[in-house]
Amino acid sequence: MSNKTCTNIKIRPKNNTIVLSCKDMTIGYEDQTVLSNLTFEVKEGDYISILGENGSGKSTLIKTILGLTPPLFGNFEFKEGFSHKNIGYLPQQSSAQRDFPASVLEIVLSGFLGKKGWHPFYTKKEKEMAITYLREMNIEDLKEKAYRNLSGGQQQRVLLARALCAAEELLVLDEPVTGLDPTAQAELYQMIEHLNKHHGLTILMISHDIPGAIKYSNKIIHLEENSYFFGTKMEYKASDLYQHWKGEM
C-alpha cells in the first residue's frame, strides 16, 4: 500500500463520541434467541473485532446493527444524525457474486445506491469519490477491468472501495481476509488499519483470526453460546476465553 495519504478522503477526528451502543439487548431470528443481555458501545475511531465459533451469533449481530434483522429485545442507539445508511458494509461473497459481470468502477459506484433514493444517475462528485477510493486501494488502474476476472485479493479491495462509498464513519466487515493467500491477507489488513488510523474510520470486523484481531484491534467482542466478552484487547488477553483458545493451539 502506498505510504501517501490520499487527501481527498475525509479525515475524521477521534473525539471519543459514542457512535452506537446497546444495553441488555437480545438478538436472534424468527423468535429464536441467539444471545441475550448483550451490552457494548462503539466509539469513534474504535477498531473492534467480533470473534466466536460458527453459530455463536456474529452474523446475527452484524445484521442487527445493519438494520436487516430487528432485535428481539432492546435496540441500538446511534449518535445523533447517524443511521444505518451511514454504514459501509463489506459482506462475504458467494461464488455467483465473484462472477458478477460488471466493471470495477461500476461495482464501486454501486456503493452510493443506498443514499441516492430515486436518482438514477451518479453525480460528478460521486464518480470522483469512487476514483479516489480506488486510488486509495491501489487499484485505480483496474477501473475498466471486469470484476469477475480479478484475483480474490483484488476483488476484496474493490468491495472495500465500494463500502467506503457508503461509510460516513462506520465500516462493517464480514471476514474480509477469509480465503485470501497470506500476502493478500496482510495487504488487506494494512489497508483496513490505514483507514482506521489515518482516516479515523471506525471498524467493526467479524473474524476467525484471533492473532490478527489481537494485532490490529483495540477492542474485542467474543461471542459464546449464552455468554460473551467485550473489552480492550489487553483485557481480552487476560480473559478465560482467550486462555481457553491458547490452550487449544
In tens, the pLDDT along 133-143 reads 999 999 999 99
Are 161 and 193 within 8 A, CB to CB? no
Tell me which residue of 50, 55, 54 sits closest to 40, measured CA to CA.
50
CA distance linking residue 225 with residue 36, whole number of Å: 10
Percent share of the chain, pLDDT over 90: 65
pLDDT in tens, 203-214: 999 999 999 999
pLDDT in tens, 97-147: 778 889 999 999 999 887 655 566 888 999 999 999 999 999 999 999 999
pLDDT of residue 75: 83
Q: Where are the beta strands (DSSP E) in the chain?
A: 18-29, 32-43, 47-52, 76-78, 87-90, 170-174, 202-206, 219-224, 227-232
pLDDT in tens, 47-86: 999 999 888 899 999 999 998 999 999 888 898 888 888 8
Does residue 153 carry a pLDDT above 60? yes
pLDDT of residue 144: 96
Are 102 and 60 within 8 A, CB to CB? no
Does residue 7 carry a pLDDT above 60? no
Are 50 and 221 within 8 A, CB to CB? yes
Does residue 28 carry a pLDDT above 80? yes
Q: What is the mean pLDDT of the chain?
A: 87
